[in-house]
Amino acid sequence: MKKLDKLILKSYLGPLVLTFSISMFVLILEFLWRKVETLIGKGLDFTVFLKLFAYAGASLIPLALPLSVLLASIMTMGNFAEKSELTAMKSAGLPLWRVFRPLIILSLVLSAVAFYSASFVIPNAELKVKQILVDIRDTKPAINIRPNEFFTDISSYVIRVDKKEASSNKLYGIIIYDHSKNQGNVEVIKADSGYMYSVEKEQTLVFELYNGEVFSEDLSAGNMHTRPLTRIDFEKQTIRFDVSDFAFEEKDADRYSDGYKVINVLRLSRRIDTLENELAQRKQKYFSNLYSQLNIVLPESENTKQQTVKYDFYNDCAKMGSAFNKRTDSFCRSMIYDMNESYQTNMMIIDNDELYLTRHRIEFYRKFTLSLACIILFFIGAPLGAIIRKGGLGLPVVVSLLAFVIYYVIGTMGESAAKSGTLAPLIATWLSSIVFFPFGIFLTLKATSDSKLFSSENWYRLFAKLSLRRKNNKQ
């Protein structure tokens, strides 16, 4: 590798790593903001958050990597142009394609890495994120008994305290209502004071109570009507509650492993083939049954005993109704209504199946658009940097974000059109690439010819000519 290639790669890798890190940080914060209601108040261990953010970061690569490539390429070539290093390279007889060559090779490598990630790494990360979020959602909030409030999260018990010392977990004025016998509020425990602590290994919450009473009703077979009340005084009593439901537990991931977003590209391709065959068979079966029902044998009527008549349902039903009696005409109307209802129901099922198949196709094509996006956005960013001649984090960031937002919006609109059935999934998924590819060729040609495309002086001259021409036309 020549020294020039090393210089270009070294100048490119720094901004690439920086912008990728910033993009990932911002996207993870946005993910955290959307899921904050699910995460707070569960008393989760730090390792759970660490796993969640790691898997979420892996699943966010499709957004962060293309944006990083675009921004890093604009910054690198903008720095070279701003410091006249690009001019020096061209003066030495190097065409712009030769300057781009190491970055093009690196973009191809990133494209291959992106394809592998989208095909195998990201589906697994999506599966893990979904599994952890569902497990967190199923986890009960952390135990937090507040003074003068009834705490009901422990199954079969209601707890109330008058005062609580946060530093020592000492409680005052404790009342515990025991519903564990499934006979109502038949046992109440009162204590002047006590301590509360948890045993994590046993997943147990322990109450040590002092100076209290236990009130219980005797509901044995002979005392159901009299319900005698028993009172027992105590100086110290220990009560243990099972709080295993409050602990975070990772459940089996197999129950989430069948979604189209969490399977790799090979399984996704086989799934699409299976769904296409099933949908074709379902359509053929339904319409075959529908056409066979168009010729129906009329039931026996009062005036035509033992007589059966075959007729074309839609064309001859009215004729047959007038030829026999009101019973036959009522039968025709009922059959028309039933067949219309059946048609609407089956069409709804078929539409849902087609939408489900479309989502699979979009996800399949998306595996390839991510890798291509790294190449296309490089050929947008590198020529732009050479043309605008600005490096750093100022103008390049604005231009990059604007271009990426347009790219992302076009892709989102295309996918929405595909889901609504107005655009084929193949075209919809590749729509952003189709729009940006010729634009990248245009910018590359302009950068190769040292075009002053974004020169304010050229635009001023252009608007001056247009205004002068307008004045001449008015005269």
Could you tell me the residue ranges of all domains in the chain? 1-139+249-475, 157-246
Structure tokens at 132: 């952890």
Secondary structure class of 47 (helix, strand, coil): helix
Q: What sign for the dihedral angle of Cα 432, 438, 441, 442? A: negative
- The average confidence (pLDDT) of the chain is 77
Cα distance between residue 58 and residue 64, in whole Å:
10
Cα distance between residue 284 and residue 289, in whole Å:
9
**223: which DSSP letter?**
G
Cα distance between residue 84 and residue 88, in whole Å:
6
Question: Helices H, strands E: what count in the chain?
Answer: 14, 8
Which stretches in the chain have pLDDT values below 70? Answer: 1, 37-38, 40-45, 137-144, 184, 200-203, 219-227, 243-258, 290-333, 335-336, 391-396, 450-464, 468, 471, 473-475
Q: How far is CA 98 from CA 109, 383, 448, 450, in A?
A: 18, 13, 11, 15
Buried b (16+ CB within 10 A) or exposed e, 81-91: beeebbeebbe
DSSP per position, 83-124: TTHHHHHHHTT--HHHHHHHHHHHHHHHHHHHHHIIIIIHHH
Instruction: Please write the tens of the pLDDT for every residue from 256-300.
Output: 556 777 778 888 888 888 888 888 888 887 777 766 665 544 444
From the list 383, 403, 355, the residue with the least C-alpha distance to 81 is 383
From the list 84, 74, 90, 60, the residue with the least C-alpha distance to 11 is 74
Structure tokens at 12: 């490119």
Structure tokens at 288: 């075959």
Instruction: Please write the tens of the pLDDT for every residue from 301-322.
Output: 444 444 443 444 445 555 544 4
Backbone angles phi, psi at 190, to 5 degrees: -120, 145
- 386 in Cβ contact with 440 (< 8 Å): no
Instruction: Please write the tens of the pLDDT for every residue from 49-105.
Output: 788 888 888 888 878 888 888 888 888 888 888 888 887 887 878 888 888 888 888
Secondary structure class of 208 (helix, strand, coil): strand
Place of tokens 């781009």: 100
